[in-house]
Every structure is written in C-alpha cells, then in structure tokens.
Chains A and B, each alone.
Chain A
Amino acid sequence: MAEGTVFVETVELAPEPPPSGPVQWIRENLAYSVSSTITTIVIGLVVFFGLRALIAWFLNPFRKWSAATANARLLMVQAYPDDQFIRVWISVGIVVVLAGLSAAAWRVAGKVSVGQVAKGLLSVGSGALVLALLAPGGLTGGRVIFGSVGLVIAGIGYMWKRARKSSVNEPVISTVALAGLALVLIGVFLWTVKLPVQEVFADGSKEVTNQLIARSTKLPWTVQLLVLAVSYLVGVAIRDSISSLRRILVGLWALSFPAILMVVMRAPDIEWDTVLSVDLPIFLAIGALVGVILYVIGAPDAGEWKYIVSAIWLVLAVLWVLFSWYLFDPASSSPFHFTSSAADVLKRLEFKFPLILGALFALAAPSFGGARAARLRYIGVWLGALVLLIMSFRLGAASSLLELSGTAFVGGLSLTFTLAIAAIVLSFPLGVLLALGRASTMPIVRMISTTYIELVRSVPLITWLYIGSNLLNLFLAGVVDIFSVVRAITAMTLFSAAYLAENVRGGLQSIPKGQYEAADAVGMSVVQKTVLITLPQALKAVIPALVGQVISLFKDTSLVSIIGLFDLLYIARNVIPGQSANIGSILELTVVAAAIYWIFTFTFSRSSMRLERRLGLGTR
C-alpha cells in the first residue's frame, strides 16, 4: 500500500427528508411554473363559481327533492302491493345474507394502515368544510353543524397523521372493524338524523318539518344491517369447517336470482297436488331412466354407438317438441291457428324438455364419464339440472298470487336489475357459443356466427328493442303471448351475446397454440379440449372485459324506458313528475336517477379494478 494514503473518516448522514407541508405541496402540484400558476388560478375560479352555483341549485328551497324521497318506494319497486311488501324485504335479506357469508368465505377482510385512514378522514372532513364554506348565503343553520362536523373530522385526521410520524411501526386497523363501525354509524343515523322535508297538503298549503331520513323504513333497514353482521360472523365461524363453502355460495348466488324473481317477488300459486301427481313421477321416471343410460354410456370404453344413439335421441326429442309446439296444437286443427297462453305451452312442453336435456347429457357423457365415482358425480349433476328444469317449468306455468295494478310485478330499480342480470346470465352461454362458432374451422358455422355478431353489433340497441317489442309479437303472436319484460330481456340478451362473443373471442385468440397441441397430444376430444382447456383460460383472460360489459349493459337497461317499460328512468321521468303534487320536479328526479345509476356503476367499476389486480391480469 502506498504511503501517504490519508484515511478520511466519512460519516453516513441520513438523507435529508424531502420538504413537506402545505406550502411545499402547492409549490409542487399547483404552481410549479408561471403557466401552471395561471392555469390553477383560472381553473380554480371556474371551479369555485361552478361549485357555488351547483350548491346553490341543490339547496334552493324551490327544489322539489321531496318528490324523490316521498316516492322512494316507487323508484325502487314500482307499485308492489303494500300487504305483500315483506317479500321485498325478504329478497333484500337473501342478498344481504349471501353477501355477508361471501365476504367471510372469500376473506375480504384486510388491513389498512392508520395513515390511510387518517388521510381519508382529512380529505372527507376538509371536503365537507369546503362545501359548507362555499355554500352561498353564508354559514347559517345546518351549514354550521355540517361545517363544524367537517372541521372536527379533518382535525382528527390531521392530528392522527401528525402523531403517526413519530411512531416507527405503522399500526394497522382491520377493515372489518372499520366496516362494522360504519354499519353502527349508519344504524344510529337512521334513528337520529333529521332532515327538513317539505310536505304539500291537499289544499295546496306547504309545511316544512324535520323528519328522520328513512322514517318508514328505519326498522327493516336496521334489521338488514343486523342480518349482515350476523351472517358475516356465521360465515367466519363456519368457513374453516366447511371446505366447499365458496362453491356452495356460488351455487346459491346463481339460484338466488331466479328464486327471488320467481318465488319471493312473484308469489307463485303452486298447486301441490300437481307437483306430487305430475312433477314427482316425471322426475323419478326420467331421472332414473336417463341416470341408468348415463351410467352405461359414461363407461370408459370406445364406441361410436354411444354418440349415434345420443344424437338420434336428441334429434327425435327436438322434433317432438317442434311438432307438438308449432304444428299440432290439440286445441285446433289448422296449423296456423293458436290460442294458447304461455302457461299452456309450458305445461305441454314439460315432458319433452327433460328428454332434450337428457340427450345433451348423454352426448357429453363419454367426455365427462370414466371411473365409477366420476360417473356417479355426473349423474348427480344430471339430477340437479333436471330438478331445476322441472321447477322452472312449474314456477313459470303457475299464476301469481299478487294483485297488481300494472302488468309487471317488478318495476323501478328492481326492474333495472332484473333486466341487467337476466340479460347477462342468458347471453353468457349464447355468447360463448357464438365466439366458439366464429373461431371454429367449420365454414358454414363460422359464416353464420360472424354474420350474426357483425349485424347485431352494427345496429344500435334501441332498434333491437323496437324489433323485440314489435316483431317478436308478430313472429309468435298466438303461439305464445310474450310478456313485455320478457320481450325486452330477449332483445337485450340477443344484443349482449354478440358483444360478449367478441370479448370471448379475444380471450380465445390469446391462448398459446401449445395449449391446443398439448390437448391433442393427450388425446382429448374436441368437447374436452374446449371445456377443459380452451374456455377456462379464455374466460379468465377476458374477465375485465366481461365486467365492463356488465357495466355497460346495466347502463343500457335505461333504454327500455323508451319502449315504455317502467324502469327506474321511466318512473323518474314520466311517472312521478305526473303526480299532481310533484309537477315541475322532472329535473330533480332525473338528477336522482342519474345519482342512483352512478352509485352502482361506480361501485362495479371500482370492484372490477380490484378484481383485476387480484387476478394479476395485465401485469404479466
């Protein structure tokens, strides 16, 4: 080592913390250059006056917000009979129970750092304070309370944030605790917070009184909150002992929608003697017969005869349905003269559709059969499907016990949800089939699928709704009387299937070629390759696109108001402003409808983003 080397002792200094504080923040985010300062000032003035005008508009005593609050029931479920209203609460309760159980089963509970909570409090509180200060007319009355509550919340948040800096380990809070706190707060608000409500009496006089926010529904909502909490706790208790809880819940979610719609809300008049004398024998006979056949056909040996027998079976069953449905009506001799109602048609088809279903199961049996256990499981699936099929026929054919003022037993927001869910559920299989058809190597199938997809996509939805509401009756009038809601669902299903097919096709194209080759190499049949290899991967890849489609379909349901269905928008726009007490409230109600749509769509899109992150899509 050379002499004269000087060792300099270096001291590692901690890097200076970046300057922080409100002034620094403004310097970095609002005024980092001359032009940005000017932009900030100009935009700030626009925002200031815009917000002020908006608040003034909202708080204007001439606004008829009471038109929306007094008609909340109409907006949600239209004119559901009063004496049966408990059914609506049971439906909500079913969803709430499932939501609580699912939250426990999927372990949504997480941890959130105190810093984030403090930041949230700070922004919520200061937002409230700013709104109170901006409101024209100065700080008077309720605005003082509102503003000071905001100030207190913001203060707590800020102090907490400052206090956090001194501690080394950042403490965390469970999100469940936060959600529980929020539930308790909501429950307390339901019973305590009062808002001024303007009431218009028959003689035209008006009176402003302070009333609870949900004065007629505070009890049911409190019960729902409790049910939510209890079902979550139950879910937590049982999630470790029941291993297939998630699968069961998925099944229950799938069943809950038809159950709510057909059983709870519709109150079907089920004739139990028919169920015992007709449905049960059909189920036992066809179930056992087809079960035996499936057991034989599912045996793991080669043989074309299985396919040939199943195909002949399928063709015969389809022909039987077609002939009995269209051509030979027992009530008349002429083929083009029908007077049957939908219920009659359903009754006549009850025997035949299980046979078609059985043929389909038989066709797929060689692909999913195999060892004894697999075959028995397959027969179990068959029996379950048969029960569902027979039950839906029975429920569809039964008349409703409700005495309704209109034609539909759902309306308002529940109709909006019914349309969206039914259309997306029904269009899913059709869309997948269309996507497979478009990607298939069979030219005629491909041509027909492509034509369908492109034609449907190029024409706007409102046209399809008109076609549904006018042509569908023209096509089938006299054969089946189709209910207007069903016509709208049909049109939306056919429309949404084309878009869904394009999304799924994107997923199919993203699958590497090696996957197909590997499936071929292990000797899979086309059905096995599609169901076990291609579709699961394709569908997983397009989940974000599918959620996006659910969102746009939810928004698109508003179009049915043009063809005169009583959905949320129609009631907000045409029904309530027509009431004598609420004339001139159309703008307020449109804003309320927009807000309701916004809340749901925004929630969907945020949860889809979370789902995307959780699946790790787009980050690979």
Chain B
Amino acid sequence: MTTAIQRPTRPPFYRDVTVLKWVFQIVFLIGIVTVFWLLGSFSIANLAKQNLAVSWDFMARPVGFQVAEGFTTLPESGFQALLVGITNMLRVTISGILAATILGVIIGVSRLSHNWLVNKLATVYIETIRNIPLLVQIVFWGIVVSIIPDIVVDETSDGSLKSLFGLRLLPEGWIFASPKGFAMPWLVPTDGRWQWVGFMIVGAVAALYAYRWRIRLQEAGTAEARAFLWSGGVLVAFAIVGTFAHPVMGIFGPVFGFVAAFFQNTPIIIFQIVLAGLAVGGAYYIIKKRLDELRTPAGLGKLTDDDWFRLAMAAVVASGLALFFLLQSGPVKAIVGQGTIFGQEIGLSQLFTGLESRFSFVSGAPFDFSLPAIDGRFNNYAADAGHVITRAYFALWIGVVLYTAAFIGEAVRAGVLAVPKGQTEAGFAVGLRRSQLLRMIVLPQAFRIILPPVGNQYLNLAKNTSLGIAVAYPDIVQVGQTIFNQTGQTIPIVISWMAWYSFVSLTLSAIVNRWNKKLKLVER
C-alpha cells in the first residue's frame, strides 16, 4: 500500500519565518549602519568646524613631549611614542601576572590552611583588597611610595637604606630610595644578550624534550620521572654554558641576513599572490570542514539559512581579502618590508636585518652586573646603572598584583575545594604528608578547574594596567591621551587603543583556551 506523500506547501512570504527573519535582519543592519553613518558625518562636520580632519599623520611626525619612562624617553614619532606605551604596559602586565600568580596561589592555599592565624590572615587580606576599588589602591600606593624614603632612608647618606637594628642587610650602595622610586643592582643586558636569548630558546626546546623523555621512562616503569628537576637542570645548564658559549649563535646572523634579503629583493607580486592564495586556501579549508561536519551517512545534511550565511561569509571575506592583496601592493609591501607604514619601515625584512646585526659574532658576557649610581642631586639615578623602579611603576605594579592575587586566591581555593574529598582521603591513606598531598594529588587536579577563572583574571590584570594613568605611568592610554590633547586626533588614538587591547585580549584568551583544551579530561 502506498500513501501519497503530502508535500508541505510553502506559506505566503509574509508568514514565512525565514523570509521575515531575513527582512528583520536586513532592516536591523540598515538601522545600525545608518546610526554609524550619522555619527560619522556629525563628527566629521564637527571636526571641520575646528579646522581638523581625521588623519594619521601624527604617527610619522615627531611629538613634542617627553615620556616619563620606557625604552626611549624622547620618542621620534607618534608611532614610537605609542610603542613606548605598549612596551611599558607589557612590562607591568608580564611581571604582574607572574607575581600575582605566585602570591595568589599562596593566598589561596593559606585560606585552606588548618592554622587559624594563617587562615584568618588570608581571609582578612582577601576581604580587604577585593572590596576596595583598584584605583583607590593604586593612588594609595603612589602616596605611600613617596613617603617611604622618610622612613627607610638613612638621613646622612645620599639615599641609601638605613640599617635595621644596627645590622646592614645589604652592602652600602646597593639599594637607594627616594620619592622618585627605588634603585637596585641589576644584570644589565649588553650586546651579547640576543645571542644568549637565542641559545636559551634552543635550551628550552632541549628542556621540553628532556621532560618528555623522563615522562616516557616513568610510564615504561624503568625510572622515577623527576621531570621538572631534569628539564630545569637542562635549562640551567644551557643558561650557564650560554653565558660563555653564546657567540656560537652568531652562525644564525648570515641566515637572518639571507632571509632579510629575500624579503627585500623578491618581486612584490609574488608575495601578493602568496597572501591571496593563503586567504582563498583558508576559506576553502573552513568551508570544507563545515560541510564535512554537516555531512551525514546519508549524504550532505540539510543546510539551514544560518549555515548558508556562514559559508557565504567565509567565501566573501576570503575573496575580498584576496582581491585586496592582489590589487593593493602598499600594505603587502609594508608587511614584507619594502614599503612603509605610518612612515615607519617595520616590515619582516627590517625585522630580520635587525636580528642579523644582533646575532653576528659578538664576544663578551651577555649581562653585566651593575650597581645603581646617583647622578647629580636629589637622587637622580644614572640611566644605565643598576635598575630603577619608578614611583609610578611600583604603585601600579603593587596595586594590580595585590588586587589580582586576591581574586586568584579565591579561584585557587574554589578549585581546591572542588577536588573530590575521596582524592584527599586516598592520598592520606597511602601515607602522603599534607604538603605532598597538595603538590601531587590536589593541585594538579584543581589546576584544571582553576585555569579558566585565572585566565580571566590575567585578562583583567592586563586591562587594569590602564589605571596607571592615575599615577602618570606612561602606558598606551596615558601616551595616547597626551597625543590627542596635543593634536586633537581623538579618533585615530581611540582606534589604536581598541586595536591594541583587542590584540592583547585575543592573544591571552587564545593561550588560555589552548591550555584549557590540553588539560581537559579525556572522556569516553
């Protein structure tokens, strides 16, 4: 017996959900575009009233101000000034993340301690720090730093520290304090440092292999792993040997020179074709992957309008990019280093030329131990002697570290508490001590739970460094603000801020997601 298959009749277009959906979306898109167009035209008209036009010229022109600290204090161009801001922001972010992680773990573990005093101290710390705005804390530390010298500095000397109970903890002349900041001894990098860093990269790869090798041995049952010990030992060995043997890396100099010449001399059309090809290939890969996902054993699954949209977007974006690369040689030239961007030559070719000059054979130690020195009156520290932690840097750094550590501490505590109790009991049952239990059983398992919130905190820390503006720390926000106060170019500066912070956020979350994926429990 056969039954007639009733084909569903399509409803009229004004009742068809798909049609209505798309009509709504197109109207919505037009509305958004209109609003932006209106805002844009208003701002251009308003700028024209002030005889201003949106322009990026300031990036190439010299700026008329001094930056308080950074790799250079007299930037040659707006671009370089922003670059100083970026490196300053990274300095605080990276060292802050390291310190906040260490402190946060200590706080988190202390909050779980059975010792009443330790436990309460950690609780008081968290409840105090977490409930006071970070900005207030940074301002507070900024004021505190400027009065510390009154307390710790020996009045008779030039800024050197007092002795404590008649005991001098450090030799005289090692640490100075003044309202401008602290100066301390430092390993000042010299010309050989790049080769040494190259050496250490090789060392890191070797350490990774050592780690895997030890793990393999343990899994085979032949030896106890001690993987961290081994890989750490390899790193230390490389660091020591590298101090003397780093000129070996000089052989890479000519290699980099060759690469630089390649980028400089190859006709630009070849790079254009390669980039366009990459764009098209990427789109092809994405579309194919998506189609494969949608494929059912019975053949290609039914594509919804959403799927069609995604595939079409991938194709359109890729062809747009490919056309852009093929028709516009300027950006491609800037990328490979045959042209300029914002008046700067900062392409791949220049990168490798720089590496070549830094890797060619240089002898001597990569670092010099240097003591701080006073230059003139009122504790003006000499520029390249020792290391100076400025007041602004210290206030911002200690502020974000203490603040983030409180949140990391809470994340660590939550993660440790989330490890099933049976794990702890089993650990005690096989006779582990409490410290061993934490190190070998609880923390590795808690790590998986801790990572996502802590990654979020790292992101917050990176963004919070922008509060350094309250103590005049020259990060990208402060430098950008100075530039737009001078030139009136608000829109380009805002775009640079957004571009930089989006880049940082995307990079950090990509790293955290990668780790997260790696640590995920492999389930059936």
Contact = CB atoms under 8 A, between A and B. Distances in A.
Interface stretch (B22-30, B203-211, B320-328, B514-522): B22-30
A474 B491 CA distance: 10
B114 A460 contact: no
Given A36-B114, A467-B494, A470-B490, A462 B127 contact: no
Contacts of A448: 28-29, 32
A471 B133 contact: no
B350 to A, nearest CB: 29
A538 B170 CA distance: 59
Contacts, number: 162
B268 interface: no
A393 to B, nearest CB: 22
A445 B506 contact: no
B428 to A, nearest CB: 14
Contacts of A594: 132-133, 136-137, 140
Contacts of A477: 42, 46
Contact of B147 (A459, A463, A559, A587): A587
B170 to A, nearest CB: 21
B132 A304 contact: no
Contacts of B464: 460
B139 A569 contact: yes
B136 A597 contact: yes
Interface stretch (A16-24, A40-48, A241-249, A278-286): A40-48
B117 A43 contact: yes
Interface residues of B, number: 62
Contacts of A590: 136, 139-140, 143
A460 B46 contact: no
Contacts of B45: 336
Contact of A458 (B32, B130, B313, B501): B501
Contacts of B490: 470-471, 474
B131 A602 contact: yes
A569 B494 contact: no
A32 B150 CA distance: 42
Nearest to B26: A444
A567 to B, nearest CB: 10
A555 B39 CA distance: 31
A177 B465 CA distance: 48
Given A444-B25, A463-B497, A471-B490, A47 B133 contact: no
Nearest to A604: B131
A598 B131 contact: yes
Where chain B touches its partner, the secondary structure class is helix
A380 interface: no
B136 A593 contact: yes
A601 B121 contact: no
Q: In which size bucket is the chain A interface?
A: 35 or more
A457 interface: yes
A556 to B, nearest CB: 7
B400 to A, nearest CB: 12
Nearest to A327: B38
Contacts of A573: 139
Contact of B114 (A32, A587, A598): A32
Contacts of B134: 555
B494 A463 contact: yes
A443 B306 contact: yes
B165 interface: no
Interface in A46-67: 47
Given A304-B15, A471-B490, A477-B46, A47 B121 contact: yes
A466 interface: yes
A476 interface: yes
Contacts of A561: 135, 470
Nearest to B467: A462
B309 A443 contact: yes
B486 to A, nearest CB: 13
A131 interface: no
Contacts of A444: 25-26, 28-29, 309
A165 to B, nearest CB: 22
B466 to A, nearest CB: 4
Given A29-B115, A443-B310, A457 B505 contact: yes
B252 to A, nearest CB: 36
Nearest to B502: A458
A461 B465 CA distance: 11
B369 interface: no
Contacts of B112: none
A455 B38 contact: no
B502 A455 contact: yes
A403 B306 CA distance: 58
A336 B42 contact: yes
A185 interface: no
A601 B132 contact: yes
A441 B46 contact: no
A348 B343 CA distance: 49
Contact of A587 (B32, B39, B140, B467): B140
B47 interface: yes
B87 interface: no
B488 to A, nearest CB: 10
Nearest to A463: B497
A397 B116 CA distance: 60
Interface in B468-524: 469-470, 477, 481, 484, 490-491, 494, 497-498, 501-502, 504-506
B463 interface: yes
Given A30-B116, A39-B118, A602-B127, A459 B136 contact: no
Contact of B133 (A443, A459, A555, A587): A555
B508 to A, nearest CB: 9
Contact of A569 (B47, B133, B310): B133
A290 B38 CA distance: 31
A466 B481 contact: yes
Contacts of A562: 135, 467, 469-470
Interface of B: 14-15, 21, 24-26, 28-29, 32, 38-39, 41-43, 45-47, 114-118, 121, 127-128, 130-137, 139-140, 143-144, 147, 305-306, 309-310, 313, 463-464, 466-467, 469-470, 477, 481, 484, 490-491, 494, 497-498, 501-502, 504-506
15 contacts: A40-B117, A40-B118, A454-B502, A459-B502, A460-B464, A460-B477, A463-B497, A474-B490, A475-B43, A476-B39, A477-B46, A561-B135, A569-B135, A590-B136, A602-B127
Interface of A: 29-30, 32, 36, 39-40, 43-44, 47, 304, 308, 326, 336, 441-445, 448, 454-455, 457-463, 466-467, 470-471, 474-479, 555-556, 558-559, 561-562, 569, 573, 586-587, 590-591, 593-594, 597-598, 601-602, 605
Given A442-B24, A593-B136, A605-B130, 4 more contacts: A459-B497, A462-B469, A474-B46, A474-B490
The 6 nearest A-B residue pairs measured at CB: A458-B505, A29-B116, A601-B131, A460-B463, A555-B133, A444-B25
